Each structure stands twice: as C-alpha cells, then as structure tokens.
Amino acid sequence: MAVDTPLLDNNNSSTHSDEDEKPLSLVRRFGSESKKLWKIAGPAILTMLCQYSLGTFTLIFAGHVGELDLAAFAVENTCIAGFAFGIMLGMGSALETLCGQAFGAGQTRMLGVYLQRSWVILFTTALILVPVYVWSPPILRLMGQTTEISKAAGRFALWMLPQLFAYAFNFPIQKFLQSQRKVHVMLRIAATVLVLHIFFSWLLILKLGWGLIGAAITLNTSWWLIVIAQFSYIVITKSDGAWSGFSWLAFADLFGFVKLSLASAVMLCLEIWYLMILVVITGRLTNPLIPVDAISICMTLNGLDGMIAIGFNAGISVRVSNELGAGNFRAVRFAVWVVSITSVSIGVLAMILVLSTRDYFPHLFTTSDAVAKETTKLAALLSVTVLLNSLQPILSGVAVGAGWQSLIAYINIGCYYIIGLPAGILLGFTFHFGAEGIWSGLIGGVVLQTIILIIVTSVTNWKKEAEQAEGRVKKWGGSIAYEQ
C-alpha cells in the first residue's frame, strides 16, 4: 500500500530530487487516502442525512400545526426516542470494531454471526426499554417538563414504539454493511424512503390534518421500510459470503459480546444524552414553552450537521478497524490526519452558514415570531457547536475502530457530567443566563473532551493496537471457525 511506504527515501543521493519528491509524495498520499475515506464517508454521510431528515421533516410539519405539537414531538424525539436511540446505536456500534477488524483480516464468514448476535442483544434491550415509553409522562414531569408538554409527548411516545424495535434491527445491519463498505446500497434505500416520507408526512400531518398521529404513522413506516429493504438485500446477495443464513451460533459467546456492546453504548449514550439534557434542563426555566421550542430547533439543526460528522465517524471507524485488522498500523495514523483535516474544513463552512442565516432558518420550523426570535439569539452557540461537531465525533470514530470504548466512556463522564453539566446549570440558573448559559456550560465540556481525545490519539502506539486487533479477531473467531 502507498501509505506504508516511507515518505522520505534516505538512499536517494540527490538532495534536489528528495526535495521535489517530498511534497509530491505527501499530496499523493493525501489524495489516495481521501479517495478511500470518501468512498465510505460520502455515501455514509448522505445515508445518515436521509435517515436523520425523517425526523427533521416531521418536526417541520409538526411545527406548522402548533406550538404544543412542536414541543411534544421535539421532547419525545429528543428525550424518549433520543434516549433509546443512543442506547441502541451505541450497542450496535460494537459491530464497527468486530466486523471491521474481522473484514480487514479476511474473516468474512464471521460477520453474519456477529450480526445475529447483535440482533439478539438489541431486541432484548428494546424490550427492556418499553417501560420508558409507557411511563414517559411521569418521567418527563420528574425531569422538569410541564404537565401539558409531558402528556402530549407521552401520548406520542406510545405511538412510536414500533420505531424502537426498528432501531434494534437497523443499527446492526448498518454496521454490518458499513464494515464491508457497502454504503451505496444503504444510501439508495435511505434516499428512496426519505422521498416517500416527505410526501406522506405532508399528506397525513397537514393535508389530512392527522397531526401527531400522522407523524407517528409516517415515521414508524419509514424506519421499518429501511430495515426490510436492507435485510432483503443481504439475504438476496448473501453479502459476498458474509451472510450464510440464520445460525445457533448467534447465541454463543453472548456474555463477552454483551460486555463490548455495553461499553459501546455507554460511550455513545454519554454523548447523545448530554445534548438531550440541554432540552430537559431548559424545560425547568420560567415559561419554558418558547425556550424549549427554540432549543429543539437548534438541536435539530445541530443533529443534521452532526450527521456529516457521523458519516466521517463511520468512514474513519471502518478505515481504522480494517487497517488494524490487516496489520497496517502506518495507514491508520495517516488516515486519522486526513479525516480530521477534511472534517474540520467542512465544520468551518457549516459555522459560517449558521451565522449568515440566523435570521432566516428559524422560520422554516415555526410560525411563531417569539420562537424564531429566541432561536436567532441561540445561533451563535449553535455555530460553535457545529464546529466542535466536525472533530469530536471523528475522534470517537477512531476510538470505536480501535476498540477503546471503555476508555472514552470514562473521559466522557469526567468532561460532560463532572465539569460541563454543573457549569451549564451554574450559568443558566445561578447567574441567570437562561438557555444560553446552560448551552455554554455544555460546550465547555465538549471542548475539554475534544482536547483530551486529541492527546490520546496523538500518543497512541498504532503498531501495538494492530497486534491487539489480531488477538481480538482470533479470540472472537475461534468458536465460529471450530463449529463451521
């Protein structure tokens, strides 16, 4: 591989030639790695944007029904579904480490069994999470939401239970396909479903006047269409040997698999819940309806921008896990540099876009002038957040690809919940800065976490990580190879 060749040729006797080759070699290496990255990250970004846009367009239509409908959908989508989303996506992310490293090591047969194990674990987790949906009104009131918002959001949460179980099957399938770089298939499916979703959301929510019931019908149907289409592709194509049918091996070695899945879930949940808490705490302010709506709009845009970073997260996670599985530790280090430079450049553009449209974008989500005005006030903080989004998820993707989930979980606890959250509460309530103060404190936690992740990534011995990846593939593949 080009990335494994030395940048400098010490045997070359011509100094002039050496100087000519260095920049050219670097440019070629950067271009080569960028192509590999974008082949995965490009479709992954578009796929995540399409899937995230399912909720975004539903939010837009709900916002044009009324302020309570907007708040109910936003609180359910952010707090209840967001809580479940974090757990399910996090546990499914264990496959990014295992499938990615197994695929890089050429052990394709192991991927199908990993997928089924993840289904078993996530379906069980979904059953455990059902009471959270059922008892969401008292939970939301306990978290500080008003009775009016809690009742409306709780009613909507019951209608969204099918989406919870769609998560259980969708996220493992995504990681299964991503690890094999079959991202174009995921993109075509997600884009098709999004087009159908937009039309039927408009039809049911606004045209027929079904409100939140129409929102629930379209969201549930869209998520299950994605699951059915992706699984149909896997069964029909056999996924180049990665899928050989259902197997009882899915129930073997579950304890160790659960441990890695839980570590992945804790790592990701601590990040997702951190921003979810922003909406919850804002609900405890005086007259919270307008601030909650404004924060929810900003979080929706932040999430939309975050899908770009998550696409890069998927790209670098696949690159790191594949190269570590293949033992190419030099390629890993360079891939991290390339994805970081690329993502931060896009983050700067996103920050500029938010600031330049802060007087206009709120009106896409609401007809309330008060909500739009409050959203415009928060635009500066949103711009800082989207810039941080461009690097922090990338470093988390490196961590998942390398299998560092437990370490990152501890870092997240310290930065987010010991420092960032108390700082936000102090600024928001004690110093009376309101939603802006709460958000500012939380941003401080993200900044600290990003700095620590940069340091950890910079001092990592990638040769040692490659050796550990080889041991991990042997450990998890042993029983499969023996029984097959």
Query: Looking at residue 353, what is its pLDDT?
Result: 94
Is residue 334 within 8 A of residue 6, CB to CB? The reply is no
Amino acid at 444: G
Q: Tens digits of per-residue pLDDT, 197-239?
A: 999 999 998 888 888 899 999 999 999 999 999 999 999 988 7
- Looking at the domain assignment, is residue 68 inside a domain? yes
- Looking at the domain assignment, is residue 10 inside a domain? no
- Looking at the domain assignment, is residue 418 inside a domain? yes
- Looking at the domain assignment, is residue 42 inside a domain? yes
- Phi then psi dihedrals of residue 264, to 5 deg: -65, -40
Q: Domains in the chain: how many in total?
A: 1
pLDDT of 456 above 90: no
Mean pLDDT of 418-437: 87
- Looking at the domain assignment, is residue 2 inside a domain? no
The b/e string for 136-153 (b: 16+ C-beta within 10 A; e otherwise) is bbebbbebebbeebbbbb
Query: Looking at residue 350, what is its pLDDT?
Result: 92
Mean pLDDT of 467-484: 55
Query: Looking at residue 185, what is its pLDDT?
Result: 92
Query: Looking at residue 189, what is its pLDDT?
Result: 96
d(CA 300, CA 53): 9
Most confidently predicted of 11-20, 250-259, 278-287, 353-362:
353-362
Mean pLDDT of 274-301: 78
> Which domain range does residue 380 map to?
34-483
d(CA 10, CA 336): 25
Is residue 358 helix, strand or coil? coil
Is residue 335 within 8 A of residue 33, CB to CB? The reply is yes
- Looking at the domain assignment, is residue 359 inside a domain? yes
- Looking at the domain assignment, is residue 29 inside a domain? no
- Looking at the domain assignment, is residue 450 inside a domain? yes
